[in-house]
Amino acid sequence: MIRKLMFLTMVLTVVGMAYAGSNITIKGSDTLVRLGQRWAEEYMKHNPMAVIQVSGGGSGTGIAALLNGATDICEASRDMKEKEYKLAKQKGITPFRVSVALDGIAVFLHEDNAVGNLSFAQLKGIYTGSITNWNEVGGNDARIILYGRENNSGTYSFFKKKVLNKEDYSEYTQTLPGTAAVVNAVSKDKNGIGYGGIAWAKRVKFAAVSVTDDGEAVIPSSETVSSGKYPISRDLYWFFNGQPDGELKKLVNWALSEEGQKVAVEMDYIPLPPEQAAISIIK
Partner 1 sequence: MRKLEFKPKSKLREFLGEKIISINAYVALISILLIFVFIFKEAIPIFTDEFIQEEVTVDKMVFKQEFYEGRDAKWSWQPNSEVPKYSLYPLFLGTIKASIIAVLFALPLGIGAAIYSSEFASRRAREIIKPAIELLAAIPSVVLGFFALMVLATFLQNVLHLTFRLNALNAGIALGLAVIPIVFTVAEDAMTSVPQSLRDAATALGANSWQVSLTTVFPAALPGIAAGAVLGFGRAVGETMIVLMASGNAAIVSADFLDSIRTFSATIAAELAEVVFGSAHYTVLFFIGSLLFIFTFVINLTGDAILLRLRERFQGRTS
Q: Which of 112, 141, 171, 214 binds partner 1 (CB under 8 A)?
A: 171
Nearer to partner 1, 3 or 83 (CB): 83
Asked if residues 23 and 49 have their Cβ atoms less than 8 Å apart, the reply is: no
Measured in degrees and rounded to the nearest 5, phi and psi for residue 47 equal -125, 85
**Does residue 172 belong to the site contacting partner 1 (CB under 8 A)?**
yes
Total number of residues binding partner 1 (CB under 8 A)? 28
Strand partners, 237: 76, 99
**Does residue 131 belong to the site contacting partner 1 (CB under 8 A)?**
no
Report, in Å, the least distance between residue 235 CB and partner 1: 20
Identify the three-state secondary structure at position 184: helix
Closest CA to 239 of 44, 87, 53, 85: 85
Q: Which of 61, 128, 179, 261 binds partner 1 (CB under 8 A)?
A: 61
**Does residue 83 belong to the site contacting partner 1 (CB under 8 A)?**
yes
**Does residue 157 belong to the site contacting partner 1 (CB under 8 A)?**
yes
Identify the three-state secondary structure at position 241: strand
**Does residue 60 belong to the site contacting partner 1 (CB under 8 A)?**
yes
**Does residue 95 belong to the site contacting partner 1 (CB under 8 A)?**
no
- In angstroms, the CA 193 to CA 186 distance is 6
Task: Mention every residue, 6+ apart, whose C-beta is less than 8 A from residue 169.
Answer: 127, 128, 146, 148, 160
Closest CA to 132 of 124, 148, 144, 120: 144
Nearer to partner 1, 143 or 203 (CB): 143
- Residues 251-270 close enough to bind partner 1 by CB under 8 A: none
Name the residues that contact partner 1, by CB under 8 A.
57-58, 60-61, 64, 83-84, 87, 143, 145, 150-152, 156-157, 166, 168-169, 171-177, 185, 188-189
